[in-house]
Chain A
Amino acid sequence: MATGTVTTKLPDPVPWGKKHRMLLMNISFWMFWAAFPFAYLGGVRNQLAYIHLSFGLFVLACLVPLVTKK
C-alpha cells in the first residue's frame, strides 16, 4: 500500500567556514601582528630564526582566511 511519505528536509547546515568566519578572521588578524616584530627584527638584524618564524606566522595568517566561506 502506498502511503503518503513525509520527507522531512533538514535545513542546510551552515558551513563551518561561514559559521566561524569572525573567529577565524580574528585569529588571522592577530597572527599578522604577532609576525610583524619578528619580520622587522629578522630583516633589520639579518637573523634567519626570526625571519623564518615571521614567515611561519604570516603563512598561517594567510591560510586562515582561505578556509573561510566568502
Chain B
Amino acid sequence: MNNVVALTWVTWLLAFLPILLLLSTILFLKWGAPKAGAVSWFAAVAVSVFVFGADARLLALANSKGMSLSLYVLLIIWSAVFLYNIVETIGAVNVIGSNMAKVTDDRLLQCLLMSWCFSAFMQGIAGFGVPIAVVAPIMMVMGFPPAIAAATCLVGHSWAVTFGSMGAGYYTIQLITKIPGDVIAPWMAILFVVPIVTTGFAVAHIYGGISAVKRGAPAIVVTSAVMSFSCWLMTVIGAAQLASLIPGLLGCGAMALMARTGLYRRDPASNPSVLAEAPQGLGFNLAFSPYYILILVSIATQIKGIRRIIAPYAFGMDYPAVQTAMKFSVKAEKMYSRIGLSHPAPLLLTAVVLSFLVFRAAGQWKRGAAVKAFKTTFSQCIPTSVGIITMVMMALVMGDSGMTFLLAQGMAKATGSLFPLASTFIGVLGTFLTGSGANSNVMFAALQVETAKVLGISTVIIAAAQSVGGSIGGAISPAKVLLGATMVGLDGGESEVMKKTLPYCIGVALCTGIVAWLFVYVFFRTLQ
C-alpha cells in the first residue's frame, strides 16, 4: 500500500517546487527548456531525498527510466526531423507548398487549407515547430499579412500536435500512464472533435472576423467531419501515429472539393501567389513520395501477418520494484519503454532509404543532401533533446518518489468535481511551458491520472483531456510563437502574435474541458 508523506500545505508546495521552478524560470527568467529542466531536476532530486525518503538506488532507477523514456521519444523526433530535412534539402517542401496554394483562388479557403489542414499534415510528419516554420512563410508569400499568417498557423495546427510527429505525444502518454494505446487513442480522437471544429472556426475568425466565420462555415463543417472521422478511424485501426497526417491530408482534399462548389468559386480579394521556383522535373507526386512511402510503410506494419513477424524484434529494459523510506512503492517493469520495429523511428528511416532510391532514380537526388540534412537535424535536435531528457528525468523522479501522487491528492481535494475542466488547462500549461505536447504529457500525465484515481473518475478520459489540452497549448507556446513571428519577419512581434492566438486557445481549451466534464460525469460515468 502506498503510504506517502502526509498531505499538508507545506508538503504539497515542496512536491510542487520542481514544477514551480520550471514554470518561473521559463516564464520570468526566459530560460530555455534545457536550463529550466536541469534546475527542476536538481529540485526534484533534493525534495525526493530530504522530504519523500528516496534513496540512491530508487533515484538511479528513476533516472534510468527517464533515459529509457527519453530514448523512445527522441528517436521519433530525430528521425522525423531528419526525413523533413532531406525533403527540404531536395526542394520538395517548396513544391508541396506551392501546389497547395494552387488549389483555390478563394483567400479564406487558402487560409484554412494552409493553416488548418496543410499545417496539420506537416505536424503529422514532423512537428516540433516545423508546420509553423514551413507554412507561415509560404502563406506570407501568398499575400497574407505576417501576423495573420503566423497566428492562423499556430492556432490551425494545434489540434494535430498529439498525434503529430508520428504520434510522439500519443506514445508518451501511453508510456507514462500505462493506458494501452488501443484504449486511450479512440477516446482522444473523440475528444479531438472539439478542437478540430473550433480551431477551424478560430482560423476563419482570425482571418476575417465574423463574416469569414459565416462564409467559411460550410467548408469548415464538412472538412471537420472528414478530419474528425479519419482521425478516429486511424486510432481504431491501430495506426494512431497517422491520426494527424492522414486527416490533414484528407482535410486538404475536402477543402479542395469545397472550393469547387458554388459557394466558393471566386474571391475578389484573391491575388496570384508568388512562390520560389521549384527544381525542374520535381512534380507534386515525386516531391510527396517520401510521405506516400511513410504512409504505406506505417499501414504495412499494422497488417496482422507483418506485425506477427516483427513483434519479437524489440528492445526494452526490465526494472525491479523499489520503495521509498516512506513506504511509497514503485512496481517492477518488464520491457519498459519498449522499442520495436513498429516504433515510428524505423518506419521513418525506411521512408528515408526508399525516398533516396526514388529521388535518385528520378535524377532529383542532390549530392550531399543526406549529410546536410543530418547536420541540420543534429544542430536542431541537440538542445531540444537535452530539454526533454532533463524534464523526463524530473518527471520520473517525482513519480517514483511519490511527489506526483501527493500533488494529485492535493489537486483532487482542491478542484473536486471540476477537475475534468481543469485537466485540459493543465495540459495547455504543460505545452506552454515546454513547447511540446509530448513534454506536457511527460510532465503532467501521471499527475492527472493519479488525481483521477483519487477522485474515482475515468482515468482514460482525463488522460485524453490532458493530451488534447497539451495539443491545444501548441498555439500559445512561447517557443512556437517566437518561431512563427521570426519566420514571417516579425522580429519582436511575438506579443502581437500571442495576443491573437491566446483568446482562441483559451476558448478551444474551455470547450474541450466542458466536453471532458460531460463525458466524465454525464455520458460515460462507468468508464474507468
Question: Residues of A with Cβ closer than 8 Å to B?
Answer: 21-22, 25-26, 28-29, 32-33, 35-36, 39-40, 42-44, 46, 48, 50-52, 54-55, 58, 62-63, 65-66, 68, 70
Note all chain A residues with C-beta closer than 8 A to B58.
43
Complex interface: chain A residues within 8 A of B61 (CB): 39-40, 43-44
8 contacts between A and B (CB under 8 A): A28-B34, A28-B386, A39-B60, A39-B63, A40-B61, A42-B60, A62-B38, A62-B42
CB of B320 within 8 Å of the partner chain: yes
- Secondary structure type dominating chain B contacts: helix
Of B35, B70, B318, B382, the contact of A26 (CB 8 Å cutoff): B382
Q: Does residue B383 face the partner (Cβ distance < 8 Å to A)? A: yes
Q: A29-B386, A43-B61, A54-B64 known; 7 other A-B pairs, CB under 8 Å?
A: A22-B379, A26-B382, A39-B61, A39-B63, A40-B317, A44-B319, A68-B34
CB atoms of B390 and A62 under 8 A apart: yes
Indicate if B32 sits at the interface (CB-CB under 8 A): yes
* Interface pairs A-B: 9 shortest CB-CB: A43-B61, A43-B60, A62-B38, A65-B34, A39-B64, A40-B64, A36-B67, A51-B60, A70-B32
Question: Which listed residue (A29, A35, A48, A66) contacts B38, Cβ 8 A?
Answer: A66
**Whose C-beta in chain A lies nearest to the C-beta of B322?**
A43
B524 at interface by CB-CB < 8 Å: no
A40 to chain B, nearest CB (A): 4
How many whole Å from B279's CB to the nearest CB in chain A? 30
Place the interface of chain B in its size category.
20 to 34
Report if B39 contacts A (CB, 8 A): yes
* Chain A residues positioned under 8 Å from B317 (CB to CB): 40
0/1 string, B21-54, CB within 8 A of A gives 1: 0000000001110110111011000000000000
Q: A44-B320, A62-B41 are in contact. Are A32 and B57 (CB under 8 A)?
A: no
Answer whether A25 and B383 are a contact pair too, CB < 8 Å, given A44-B320, A46-B57, A51-B60. yes
Q: Which residue from chain A places its CB closest to the CB of B38 in the assembled complex?
A: A62
Q: Of B63, B320, B390, which one neighbours A65 at CB under 8 angstroms?
A: B390
A36 / chain B contacts, CB cutoff of 8 Å: 64, 67
A27 smallest CB distance to B (angstroms): 10
A65→B35 contact, CB < 8 A? yes
A50 to B64, CA, bound (A): 12
A18 → chain B closest CB, angstroms = 11
Q: Among B32, B41, B386, which residue has the most Cβ atoms of chain A within 10 A?
A: B386
Give the docked Cα–Cα distance between A63 and B35 (Å).
8
- Are the C-beta atoms of B56 and A52 separated by less than 8 Å? yes
Interface string of B247-262 (1 = CB under 8 A from A): 0000000000000000
Question: How far, in Å, is A21 (CB) from chain B's closest CB?
Answer: 8
What CA separation (Å) do A48 and B59 show in the bound complex?
12
* CB-defined contacts of B318 to chain A, threshold 8 Å: 44
B236: min CB distance to chain A, Å: 36
Give the residues in chain A near B498, CB-CB below 8 Å.
Answer: none
CB distance from A19 to the nearest CB of B (A): 15
Residues of B within 8 A of A28 (CB): 34, 386
Instruction: State the CA gap A65–B39 with chains docked (Å).
Output: 9
Interface residue from B39, B56, B59 paired with A66 (Cβ < 8 Å): B39
B242 at the binding interface (Cβ < 8 Å): no
Q: How far, in angstroms, from A48 to B60 measured CA to CA in the complex?
A: 10
Q: How far is the CB of A49 from chain B (nearest CB, A)?
A: 11
Does B120 belong to the interface (CB within 8 Å)?
no
B:379-397 near A, CB below 8 Å: 379, 382-383, 385-386, 389-390, 393
444-480 of chain B: CB within 8 A of chain A = none
The chain A residue with its CB closest to the CB of B393 is A58
* Given A58-B63, A70-B35, A25-B382 contact (CB < 8 Å): yes
Q: Which residues of B contact A55 (CB under 8 A)?
A: 56, 59-60
For A43, the chain B residues whose CB sits under 8 A away are 57-58, 60-61, 64, 319-320
Distance between A58 CB and nearest chain B CB, rounded to angstroms = 6
A5 to chain B, nearest CB (A): 33
> Would you call B67 and A51 a contact (CB within 8 A)?
no
CA–CA, A29 to B39, complex, Å?
16
Check B63 against A54 for contact (C-beta < 8 Å): yes
In the bound assembly, the distance between CA atoms of A25 and B37 in angstroms comes to: 13
Decide: B319 and A29 in contact? CB cutoff 8 A.
no
What residues of B have a CB within 8 angstroms of the CB of A40 in the complex? 60-61, 64, 67, 317
CB contacts (< 8 Å) of B41 on chain A: these are 58, 62
List the B side residues contacting A68 at CB < 8 Å. 32, 34-35
Which residue, B30, B59, B383, B390, has most C-beta atoms of chain A within 10 A?
B383
A56 to chain B, nearest CB (A): 12
Question: How far apart sit A29 and B381, CA to CA, in the bound complex (Å)?
Answer: 10
List residues of chain B with CB within 8 A of the CB of A58.
41, 63, 393
Contact of B60 among A54, A62, A65 (CB under 8 A): A54
